[in-house]
Amino acid sequence: MGKRFKNKETIMNECRMCKGQLEEQRVTRVQEYQGQWYIIENLPALVCRQCGDIYYTPQAHDRVIDLITSDATPVRVEHVSVLDAS
Ligand SMILES: [Zn+2]
């Protein structure tokens, strides 16, 4: 009869946009951190089968910050083009 705490981060299985089914996939995420851009490959995420919307779990987010703030050696370094749309 212990009080059951509702999990703050309930596991999602339905897309917020279209109610499509989400499935776990590995995706590439681009993340800015303190003025620097990082590309994180093979990050586990939930992807909507219908509209392709991507949802990151709190664990995936922590993993991104972990990788960025650790001294992990990049697998490669890319040059990024910056375009001005004004
Ligand atoms: Zn969707």
Neighbour count for residue 67 (Cβ, 10 Å) = 15
Closest-CA residue to 60 (of 5, 16, 18, 11): 11
Residue 42 CA to ligand 1 center (angstroms) comes to 21
Mean pLDDT of 25-48: 94
**Cα 53 from Cα 20, distance rounded (Å):** 9
Q: Of 2-11, 23-32, 40-49, 60-69, which range is least confident?
A: 2-11
Distance 56 CA to ligand 1 centre (A): 14
Domain-embedded: residue 16: no
Total number of domains in the chain:
1
| Residue 14 falls inside a structural domain | no
Contacts of 26 (CB under 8 A, 6+ apart): 41, 42, 43, 44, 45
Confidence of residue 72 (pLDDT cuts 50, 70, 90): confident
Q: Determine the distance separating the centroid of ligand 1 and the alpha carbon of 40, expressed in angstroms.
A: 23
Domain that holds residue 30: 25-69
CA-CA distance, 40 to 62, in Å (whole number)? 12
Gap from CA of 47 to ligand 1 centroid (Å): 8
- The rounded Å distance from CA 68 to ligand 1 centre is 29
